[in-house]
Amino acid sequence: MGKRLEGKAAFITGAASGIGRQSALRFAAEGALVAVVDVNADGAAAVANEVVGAGGKAIALRADVSSEDEVATAVADAEEAFGRLDVVFNNAGIMHSDDGDAEATEETVWDLTMDINLKGVWFGCRHGIPALRRSGGGSIINTASFVALVGAATPQLAYTASKGAVLAMTRELSVIHARENIRVNALCPGPLRTELLMSFLDTEEKRQRRLVHVPMGRFGEASEIAEAALWLASDESSYVTGTDFSVDGGLTAAYVTPE
C-alpha cells in the first residue's frame, strides 16, 4: 500500500505548534510535500527541519494570516516550490486570554480574534482555491471548534463567534466549489491538551469545568486531530465535503440533539 498523500503538496498554517505541527509531521510521513506556515518564522523553520530530519520534504514560510498580502505571497511561494497545491489546511488561530463574555471582551480582543481566526481562514481560501483549481482540485480543511456547535462553559465569546463563522463559511464554500473537485470541510476539535488551551484554562478548576462535559473524561491530543486532518486531506474522504467533522471525545454527542 502506498503512502496516503504521495505526490500531494500541502499548505498548513499555524504549523509551528499544536495541531499544525503534528499535521505537518503526519502529512510528510505519508508522502506529502509540506509548506510549514506560521507567523513565528523560527518555529516554522524548526518544524520544517524536523520534517526533513525524519526523511520528509518541507519548506518554512513566514506569514501573518491576518494579512492578505502575506497569505497570498505564502501560497504563491508554496505553489512555486512544489509546482502545485493539493491541500490547504487553514489551521492558524488564537484564543486570547482576555476573551470573555459580551460585557468583558474588549473590542480590540474581538477584532484581533476575528482578524486571525476568521479573516485568516477567508484569506487562505481566497488564495488557496485558485491554486487547488490549477491542480485539478483538492481538499481545504478549516479548523473550527466544538464551540461552533455548542456554547463554551468558560466564556470566550470572540473565539466562539469566530469559529461559528468559520463553520458557516466552510459550508457555503463547499457548495460553491463541489463541482470543481474542491472539497471544503471544517475540523471541530474538542478540548485539547495544547499550549493554546492550557494557557487559557490556566487553573485546575477551569480545566475540570471543561472536562466534566467530555464523555471520555480527558483532553484530546493534537496528534489525534492530525489523524483526522490526514483523512480529510487524503483521497479516502473523496465524497466528503461541507462537514463539521467533530473530533471531541463525545462532547457534542452529549449536548447536541438532532433537529
Annotated catalytic residues are 159
- φ/ψ of residue 61, rounded to 5: -135, 130
Length of the chain, in residues = 259
Sequence-distant (≥ 6) Cβ neighbours of residue 184 within 8 angstroms: 125, 139, 140, 142, 170, 173, 174, 177, 241, 242
- φ/ψ of residue 46, rounded to 5: -65, -40
**CA distances to 13, 16, 22 from 41, in Å:** 12, 8, 17
